[in-house]
Structure 1
Amino acid sequence: MRHSTPSLFSLLLRCTDQRIVKAGRSVHALSIKIGSLEDRFVGNSVVNMYAKCGHLSNAAMAFEDMGAGCWDVVSWNCLINSYSQLGLTGSAAVFDLFRRMVAHGGSRPNAFTFAGVFSAASHSLEMAGWGMEAHCVAIKTDNSADVFVGSSLLNMYCKLGLLSDARKVFDRMPQKNSVSWAAMISGYASNRDGFEAFELFRLMVVEDECSVNEFVVTSVLSALVSLEFLHMGRQVHDLTIKNGLVSFIPVDNSLITLYTKCHCLDEALVIFMSSDNKSPITWSAMITGYAQNGDSLKALQLFCNMHSNDVSPTEFTFVGILNACGDQSLLPEGIEAHCYILKLGFETQVYVKSALVDMYAKCFRIEDARRAFDMLREVDVVLWTTMISAYVQNGEHEEALTMYNKMESDGLLPNNLTIASALRACSSLAAFEHGKQIHARTIKHGFGIGIPIGSALSTMYAKCGNLEECGHVFRRMPQKDVVAWNSIISGYSQNGRGVDALNLFEEMRLEGTEPDHVTFINVLFACSHIGLVEKGWSYFRLMQDEYGLAPKIEHFACMVDMLTRAGKFEEAREFIESVPMDHGMCLWRIVLGSCRNKKNFHFGAYAGERLMELGSTDSSAYILLSNIYASWNRRDDVERVRRLMKLRGVNKEPGCSWIEMKSRVHVFVIGELLHPEIEDIYVELRWLTKHMKEEGYFPDTGVAPYDHLMGDLGYFSEEELPMSASLC
């Protein structure tokens, strides 16, 4: 049977459309046998068939077999666009082909060529030079004026974050369509520049309102998902109603996202309820909105309604549900969601896996979080960051740093959230050397000291006692939010620089940054430790009267601490009894500790008995109260407190301390002899103790005759062991 070129072309086209690569190979073999491969149409069809079926190596071989004399712009475009669709992995091949095409000279690149090249260059900033090279070729070949080429070029610069270059291209375009406008607005949205995105949208409405479609509207709405841009978002919403665009599902979804991100849940719900065609994304947007605004129960209820309406959830639905379960520590509901995820096969999705890890961590099931992580050991920075953050949230700071080091050794580049979590672990361990190494890596990786890394660095240096470096980091931060201010104020207040902390607070107010609850905790803490009682009262009133912040238990605790440190115990008692919330036992515990320091045993006994009445399970309260009675030689009360402690099953947790030496953290627990150098440490400690006594220093045991943690058992305190280890 004789096969003509048109029949071969038709067969190859059918194989391409139906993605039947086996039959396509047979047609390819037949074309070689009868010598039709030299025909340009047949050759291009073979290349296109392999490329569309995902067999790019075969497509490249077929391309080379055609011979340079048969190559035309279609041949080049088949390969260039196919490799471009591979993402970053295909970018190098795209530029190699593009350079060969230009050098070959037989075919001039057209709009489709440049679309593939610019798309390949948009995947990484390292490709920017190649993209600019292609831009020059587009200008030289008179293709840059084409609206399709211009839009592709514009999209490349926007995705690379080169917005100034993108805007130059946009302004010089002789003709713009809705794709061009949407690409430029999306660029501003990706850069979180809502103001510029809105201004460009306004310009479009003035110049070309007919081109405003659902894609442009969703682009501008995605740029306005912040409370400061809410009034702009409402104007866009009004325009969508005027132009009849609210019937489009993507517009509804974007409006729901806008209002939920701006904490306007009622308005979001109105749009959700009025939507005639709710897609799974619509349901997911509303569920996620409830979860992000702390209304987890409504998120779960809406998820049940979604299931009742036979709407299949997506992976994004489960991310919202898992976040809702984690935020409220709803472990049973989280486990049910996990089972549903397994049933639908979403467990391999990276974002779902990250949400699972986060949910289990927030429910204090760190072992389950680690198991979820180990089930999907992909080279994905989001998943690793979530696991590191999970360890930090659960106080497993050494494990967090171990995982961060493993991530680095595996060659996975961290992101700013990874760095911030690792620095928080260093802060909790006071691991100064490790923190400095991470700081060096932030410089090496080019992260800078913006938010959130700057705040985490500032906190780390403060927790390690290096206030000079803490201040340097803070002053070099390009932008300072309330978290950054809180970090520096906390650092100074907790390191004995209370006056400087208060001066920073006043500077914060002058710069227009509004303080939050955490800010006032730090400010009251500073007042407490430098004895500024009247100043503390003025700040306590300021947070309520000027900023409308209702005091939380932490603020009441700072006030009690401030009053008792100043010896105003009666005033502290009256203040505690006036607190309008259930404070449990924490305020009386603060009073008891201050009574020991001030040796006000009468009031200490009163506070201790109040704690006993409230059923305290804190061992220190029992020990302090028994020590107070012992100092009065009231043996019956001592035994009564000890019996009550035993009856309630309250045990003294062994003291623990640590020190960082030579990039290792050495942990010491009272009574344990597991450290490999424990004998040398004890020798050094006995020498120090002997030397202190010779110098006339003796421990104050006036209020601790019953604290069996000292020399009678041959143990030293958890503070003394790391100090001795540093001298060995």
Structure 2
Amino acid sequence: MRFGLVELRLARFHRSYSTLQEQRSANPQELRRDLDRLCEVLDPAAVDRAHLTRLLKQCGILQSTSEARRLHSWIAKTGLDRDPFFANNVVQMYSRCGSIDEAARVFHATPRKNARSCEIMLAAFARSGDLDSAKQMFDAMPEPGVPAWNSMIAAHFHSGDSIAALRFFQRMMAEGIRPNPRSFVAALDACSRLEEGDFIHELAIAVGLASDAIVGFSLVGFYRRCHRLDLARKVFDKVEEITAPLWTQMIAAYAKAGHLLEARALFDDLPEKDSVSWTCIVAAYAHRGRWIEAKQLFDEMPGRDVIAWNAMISANAQSGRSDQALELLLLMDLDGVHPNSVTFLSALEACTNLSDASRGSKLHTEGMLGSGIENSRKVSNALINMYGKCRELGRAKAVFDGMSDRDTVSWTTMLASFAENGDLEQASRAFDRIPERQCVAFNSMLAAYAQNGHIEEAKQLYDDAIHEPDIVAFTTLLTAFAQHGRGEQALCLLRAGDLEGLEMDLVSFVGILDACACCGALTEGRSIHQEAVLRGFQDDVTIGSALVNMYGKCGQVGPGREVFDGMPWRNSITWNAMLTAYAQNGHSAEALELFPVMILDGAEPSEVTFITLLSACAQAGLLQDGLRVFALMERDFGVARGAGNAVCLVDLLGRAGRLEAAEEMFAWVPVEERDTAWTALWGSCKIHGDGGRGVRAAESVLALDPVASTPYSLLTEALVMPHLEIY
């Protein structure tokens, strides 16, 4: 390895790192205090320009629109808004807050605009995806410079037209405008296929910028997205001046692909480790479920800041370790580190996963109120989502009504909350009130119909309102068809999407594989598998897990195991999918043999894991094995008795003829699951000829659901069971 053999010139930071450092220093409470002190000053000459510039940046970084308006009001009162420098910074501040209309008003009111003013406003339009306004601004510029061209490339990309973005880059080159490193960054962002990125790479070589650290950073990121670590490493090795961000990007590329040994080796070779590189390697182990190593590295990390804590909290929340995520939040407070909006977003995700409105409400009322964080639009949207999914619709609506600056996400999240709680009428009203019904709004309403079983309405909306092929809408409707037993319609839609040339992304691949699993479409599932391999998705853990599940549901355990064995790493979902494939296809012994391998691999079993194992034991009549699994569940892994595993234990004991013990288990079965448990016990009574208990089981099912026809059939059959003793 060349590092250590030659003198390494390590440039400390470029744009991505300086932004991270600004985020680390930005604190809502400190910003509010600074603004309070500033508003007491009437003479602008008494305020340091650098301090004022820092406040403008912090308002934008924290995306605090309310504080941004306070600061803008003070600047306007003191007359500093007539200074192009401060006017430009106010425009940029509102742009970072997502308030493009306010940014545009300040821009148009600025009396002495300069070229930089136009470039900043153009960049604001570009980031928001407002391509028409960006085009008007660009066309009005007499001689647009390279930053303006870069913004136009970004504008096309953010509006969803990657092809046009690349064409604009080619037009820039054709008109003799020499691109700078940011030009290549914008162009590479727009590349989705390997050949596109290769072409941009060749152009960078031609103009002598391929060895630039910023361009190298984006090239490594692009090849990382294409799952071509070999090409990423070639770029990395050819960059003349390796920067800390580039080094960390290469570590992240290895980690994303599951190559933790290479990631760790590169981290250990890093001459000057900073908090970003430390956070990167900690997050790499955490996201791979290697919690022991992640915690060890985290404990060794010097000067853990809010970004590092956020990485650990987020990794736990996203991996289903929600209780651990909330425990880390408490430890973070004890460590004297103040949470920011990102911290609360992860903590709210954990509360949402746990359906714990109590802790979520405590975070809201005790952690956020008065700190300024509650004014963040992203945090408000997360609160709406949390309350909605925790069945606290009134609180979700209160947060929504209290927002002064709603965006499309706010409206669609409120719409989804209504749908989550079965209120389609309110969801429809929210849909009608959305100011700009973009594609995401239609997709949210489509999902609302599908979630509540209104499949015909979902199909009608898809046919009437979504004119251009949209992969999100397509996947939503396909999954709805599959989950509601409309396999033929799902397959017809799948074929239609193929004819329309829909460009599938990773999420759509997973949705389509799940649909194939639901309707047993093995032929189509194999075709999607082949396409995923061609697209380089085969190493992605989500795709791998969906493939294992699809093959298992289609009765093809062998191909599912081949996918499983070929995965570079597996999470708990992958292991559960393989266990379920074995259990559902009668391979109980294989499921039990796989379980200890799962534990040795470091994956944490969940309630789903034990439900699967108990079901496998019940189907195979393996009573002792099942009882051992049940004991392990509580004693060694701390998984409490829940509805699912209690029902499985009833079935396990019943099938083994331990009918009295099975009936005693009903003390652990929640009311909403008792019809399933009584039905399972009735089946065991039929097997073992206990008519009296069979009648009692049938009568219990009938009492729980007197309208359904099934209980009457069970009762009729129980009455003619042998050894009948009516109690």
Category of TM-score, reference length = shorter chain: 0.5 to 0.7
Equivalent positions of 1:431-470 (< 5 A) are 431=521, 435=525, 438-439=528-529, 442=532, 447-448=537-538, 450-465=540-555
Q: Specify the SS of the correspondent of 1:576.
A: helix
Aligned pairs (5 A) from 1:618-637: 619-629=709-719
1:208 to 272, 276, 298: 272
Match of 2:186 among 119, 142, 160: 119
Deviation at 1:443, TM superposition (A): 5.6
Q: Is the CA contact 2:583–2:612 (under 8 Å) kept in the aligned structure 1? A: yes
Q: 1:195 to 1:539 in 2, by over 3 A?
A: same
Candidates 318, 321, 325, aligned match of 2:387: 325
Asked if the contact 2:617–2:652 (Cα under 8 Å) also holds between the matched residues in 1, the reply is yes
SS of the equivalent of 2:541 reads coil
Matched residues in 1 for 2:639 and 2:529: separation?
35
Structure 2 counterpart of 1:363, from 421, 431, 442: 421
Q: Which has the larger radius of gyration?
A: 1
Aligned residue runs from structure 1 range 573-592, under 5 A? 573-577=660-664, 581-584=668-671, 585=674, 586-592=676-682
Listed one character per residue, the Cα deviations across residues 564-617 of structure 1 (whole Å, up to 9, x for unaligned) are: 445x2xx32134325662454344432223334555423323444566788877
Distance across 2 between alignment mates of 1:375 and 1:398: 22
Shift of 1:529: 3.2
CA RMSD, Structure 1 to Structure 2 (Å):
5.3
Identity of matched residues, %: 22
Equivalent position to 2:616, from 505, 526, 549: 526
1:62-121 residue CA offsets vs partner (Å, 9 max, x unmatched): 88xx8xxxxxxx9667635653564334222213433664xxxxx9x5xx6233124312
Kindly tell me: are residues 337 and 574 of structure 1, through their superposed partners in 2, closer, same or farther at Cα, counting changes over 3 Å?
A: same
The amino acid across from 1:208 in the alignment is E
Q: CA 1:195–1:368 in structure 2 vs 1: closer, same or farther (change >3 Å)?
A: farther
Q: 1:93 aligns with which of 163, 168, 190?
A: 168
- Answer whether contact 1:50 1:56 (CA < 8 A) is retained: no
Tell me by how many angstroms 1:133 deviates.
0.6
Q: Does 1:302 align with 2:363?
A: yes
Q: Which residue of 2 aligns with 1:558?
A: 648
Letter matched to residue 241 of structure 2: Q
How many residue pairs get aligned? The number is: 574
Q: How does 1:1-400 map to 2 (within 5 A)?
A: 79=149, 82-83=152-153, 86-87=156-157, 88=162, 89-98=164-173, 101=176, 113-126=180-193, 127-138=196-207, 141=208, 157=223, 162-185=228-251, 187=253, 200-204=266-270, 207-208=271-272, 212=274, 223=284, 225-226=286-287, 228=290, 232=294, 235=297, 239-241=301-303, 246=305, 253-254=310-311, 257=314, 263-271=324-332, 279-292=340-353, 294-305=355-366, 306-309=368-371, 311-340=373-402, 344-346=405-407, 348-349=408-409, 355-356=413-414, 359-360=417-418, 362-364=420-422, 372=431, 373-374=441-442, 381=471, 385=475
CA contact (8 A) 1:595 1:601 kept: yes
Distance verdict in 2 for CA 1:543–1:218, change over 3 Å: closer
The answer for unaligned runs of 5 or more in structure 2 is 1-82, 92-103, 126-132, 432-440, 445-465
1:344 is paired with a residue whose SS is coil
Q: Distance in 1 between matches of 2:530 and 2:276?
A: 43
SS for the counterpart of 2:180 is helix
Once residues 329 and 134 of structure 1 are traced to their aligned partners in structure 2, the CA distance between those partners, rounded to angstroms, is: 54
Q: CA deviation at 1:446?
A: 5.4
In structure 2, distance between residues paired with 1:468 and 1:276: 50
CA distance in 1, matches of 2:520, 2:617: 24
Alignment partners' CA distance in 2, 1:16 and 1:412: 41
Query: 2: CA distance between counterparts of 1:322 and 1:46?
Result: 37
Please give the alpha-carbon distance, in whole angstroms, between the structure 1 residues aligned to 2:364 and 2:411. 19
Q: Cα gap change, 1:517/1:359 in structure 2, threshold over 3 Å: closer, same or farther?
A: same
Query: Which one is further off, 390-399 or 489-498?
Result: 390-399
Q: Tell me which amino acid in the other structure corresponds to 2:272.
A: D
| Maintained 8 Å contact 1:281/1:314 | no
TM-score normalized by the length of structure 1? 0.61
Q: Distance in 2 between matches of 1:333 and 1:401?
A: 40
Amino acid at match of 2:391: S
Structure 1: any 5+ residue segments left out of the alignment? 1-10, 29-41, 67-73, 102-106, 642-728
Which of 545-554 and 390-399 deviates more?
A: 390-399
1:318 & 1:410 partners in 2: Cα distance? Answer: 38
Q: CA deviation at 1:530?
A: 3.7
Relative to the length of structure 2, the TM-score reads 0.62
Specify which structure has the bigger relative contact order, considering alpha-carbon pairs within 8 angstroms and separated by 6 or more residues.
2
C-alpha deviation, 1:181, in angstroms: 4.2
Are 2:571 and 2:603, in contact at CA under 8 Å, matched by a contact in 1? Answer: yes
Distance 1:61 1:431, change over 3 A: same
Structure 2 CA distance for partners of 1:493 and 1:193, relative to 1, 3 Å: closer
Distance in 1 (CA, whole Å) between partners of 2:344 and 2:613 is 43
Q: Distance in 1 between matches of 2:377 and 2:108?
A: 36
Query: Aligned pair in 2 of structure 1 residues 589, 496: CA closer, same or farther (>3 Å)?
Result: same
What's the counterpart of residue 594 of structure 1?
Answer: 684
